[in-house]
Amino acid sequence: MKTYQSFEEIEYNLSRLKLERKIALEEMKLLKVELVEDLSPPIWVSTIANVAGKYGLFYLVRRLFKR
């Protein structure tokens, strides 16, 4: 536990902690917005299309080499 020598030190530390809390809250808000964007339907469709395209290409190449 820290011992303070003056009220100015206490006020300074409290204001610093208050700013740190505000910064953390804003970072959490940003993470929420990013999560909502990542879970939106267009992102899922493009991800599924990319996976299907890669799997389809792999399947096509495999079929060509089997013959």
Helices (H), 1-67: 7-38, 41-66
Average pLDDT rounded to a whole number, residues 60-67: 77
- Rounded to the nearest integer, the mean pLDDT of the chain is 88
pLDDT band per the 50, 70, 90 thresholds, residue 26: very high
Q: Looking at the predicted structure, is the pLDDT value of residue 31 above 70?
A: yes
Question: Helix or strand or coil: residue 46?
Answer: helix
Average pLDDT rounded to a whole number, residues 33-60: 82
Q: Write down the residue that tokens 């339907």 correspond to.
A: 41
Q: Looking at the predicted structure, is the pLDDT value of residue 67 above 70?
A: no
- Give how far Cα 31 sits from Cα of 34, 55, 57, Å: 5, 31, 35
Domains of the chain, by residue range, sit at: 7-66
